[in-house]
Structure formats: C-alpha cells, structure tokens
Amino acid sequence: MARVAASVGEHLAIHGPTCAVSAACASGGTAIGLAANMLLDGFVPMALAGGSDPLCPFTMSGFNSLQSLDPEPCRPFDQNRKGLNIGEAGAVLVLETLASARLRHANVLAVLKGWAMTNDASHPTAPQKQGIGLADCIGRAIEMAGCSVDDIGYVNAHGTGTPLNDIAETNAYELAFRERRRPIPVSSTKSYFGHCLGSAGSIEAAITISAIRSGTIFPTLRLTDPIESAMLDWVKGEVRHEPVPLAMSTSVGFGGSNSVLIFGSPESIES
C-alpha cells in the first residue's frame, strides 16, 4: 500500500512526508482530510492528496461474491436500485495554505472549509442503518466550516446504488439537515463513473469543486423513482445551473468509515 504514495513522491522528487491512507471506499476523502490536517499543523505548506484504484479481478470478484453488483447501469437512490457498478480512476488535489497560494499568485480553485472523519462502529461492511455515523461526520464538518446547514448548496453523495448504502445515506442526510429550511440538493455522480472505490472520494471532491466553480449540478442518472424524502431535493433529469457557494462531498467505506469534505468558492473565504 505504501508503495503507491512512495512512487508518486519518488517520481516528483518530493522529499516531504509520503503516506498511503486506507479507509476503504472513503480513502480518497480521508486522505484529503489528513493532508488538510498537515497543512493546519504547519507540518507542510503544500500537499498532494487523493486516491487511485484500478479495475482488477480481485475487486470485481470480491464485490461479486458479496452480490453487490448491478449487471445493468446503476441507479443510485432509486427505489428499484440493484447494486453498484465498479469503476476505476485516480484523482489528486493540490492543497496548500491560502498564504502559500497567494504568495505564488496561484489560481485558487476552491477552499476546503471543513472536513471530518468518523466511524459507524456498527458492522464490518454494512452501513449503520439510521446513518448516525455519517450524520455526525456531516455535523462536525459543518461546525469546522463555520457555516449552517442552510449554507450548503449541494451534496455530492456517496450514492453507490446498493440497497443498504443508499437508504442509510438518505437517513443520514435527513438527520444532519433536519433543521434546514428547504430541501438539500443531492446527487450521485457514481451513475456516470461507477464506484471508483479508494479514489471515489477524491474524484467526487473534484466534481464538487467543479459544481462550485461552474454553478453546475449534475443529476443522478437513471433516477426515476427516488427514495421518498421530504427533506432531500434529488437532482435528476436535467443538469441544474445555479450558484453553489458551498458544497459537500461525502464518502463511506467498509469498516464503518465516513468522511465529509466541505468546499467553498475562493470568494467564500472573504466572507
């Protein structure tokens, strides 16, 4: 596992700390959170953080043995969802302190305003049904970001398309956003890329940043009959174009892992 991070460091001749992070399918998001901690501590002024997972027989066979795969294109959050599609990808963010970015006149794409990691401590593989662990994680990230539940303009959900994940995640959002004044827009972009496992969190972080920068929210594909929820605004059908000053990316993984990242526009730091 360590070899991947070490190889990146060797390739780029980076002499700072290298570290591989495992939190199963929440690895990408967790890696970004830990890198942000290192910036916060003054440990490093800049970090490369993300995830990478290739498609291979090992993972295909494993998820097949768990009967988690949908042979058809997946339908996250749909009442008729049957499972996930495995994908493969790698995505890395360059994180640096605002001071470092301003010093070198960098083009700041977004600001990581809040992040958190928690564990369900409920089951080795299944998420906690009421979504308490993920809701707690969302609450901590919102507290760190110094914003309210009403400020979040979009949630890029973990949304795998498995029966157990999607209902637990829906429950988590209902719990975390229960005091919100209007439904929270939610979509799963795993309906485009499949579930890229360890890299999902970092790819979805990039998509979340893209939503902020372009004011574009991609809908969940094939979502025709969503899980019923008065508090969630399922983004489906058409691409939405609206300002998204703050957006959240959530990740969940085997072993009970949860991670949440809240990104804001560069302008949000001034406010």
Partner 1 sequence: MNPNPPAITGIGSVTPFGTLAGLIPPSSLETALITAWPTKGPRRAFLVNPFNPASVVPGLKTRRLDRISAWGLVASSLALRDAGIDLQQVDRSRVAVVFATGFGCIELTTSFFQSAFNNGWSGTDPITFPETLANLPAGHVALLHNVRGPNITVSTKHFAAESALVQATSLLRNGQADLAIVIAGDTITQVAYEWYETGNLLSPACYASEPPFESLGFIPSEGVVAMVLEPSSDRTAHSYANLHSGRWAAGGDPCESIRQMLGNTTPTLIIAAGNGAPCATGSSNEAIAKLIAPNAVMLPAQPVALGLTDAGALLHMVLALSKRPASGQALMLATSGDSGFAALQLELP
Nearer to partner 1 among residue 94 and residue 106 (C-beta): 94
Nearer to partner 1 among residue 11 and residue 182 (C-beta): 11
Which of 71, 80, 104, 124 is close enough to bind partner 1 by CB under 8 A?
124
Task: Give the active site residue among 15, 195, 196, 241.
Answer: 195
Segment contacting partner 1 (CB under 8 A): 187-195, 212-220, 223-231, 251-259?
A: 251-259
DSSP 127-172: PPTT-HHHHHHHHHHHHHHT--GGG--EEE------HHHHHHHHHH
Q: Residue 41: how many CB atoms within 10 A of its CB?
A: 8
The reply on whether position 251 binds partner 1 by CB under 8 A is: no
Q: Is 25 a catalytic residue?
A: yes
Residue 236: phi and psi, rounded to 5, are -145, 160
The reply on whether position 102 binds partner 1 by CB under 8 A is: no
Least distance to partner 1, CB of residue 262, Å: 14
Q: Is 241 a catalytic residue?
A: no
d(CA 40, CA 28): 19
Cα–Cα distances (Å) from 148 to 37, 229, 246, in that order, read 22, 21, 10
The reply on whether position 271 binds partner 1 by CB under 8 A is: no
Which of 94, 98, 103, 121 is close enough to bind partner 1 by CB under 8 A?
121
* 3-state secondary structure at position 7: helix
The reply on whether position 257 binds partner 1 by CB under 8 A is: yes
Q: Is 105 a catalytic residue?
A: no
Amino acid identity, position 166: D
The reply on whether position 119 binds partner 1 by CB under 8 A is: yes
Classify residue 122 by burial, with Cβ atoms within 10 Å: 0-12, 13-18, 19+: middle
- ∠ CA 107-144-153, rounded to 5°: 65
The reply on whether position 60 binds partner 1 by CB under 8 A is: yes
The reply on whether position 58 binds partner 1 by CB under 8 A is: yes
Q: How many residues does the chain have?
A: 271
Residue ranges that bind partner 1, judged by CB under 8 A: 1-3, 5-6, 9-10, 14-24, 27, 30, 34, 37-38, 40-41, 43, 57-58, 60-67, 116-125, 133, 136, 140, 253-257
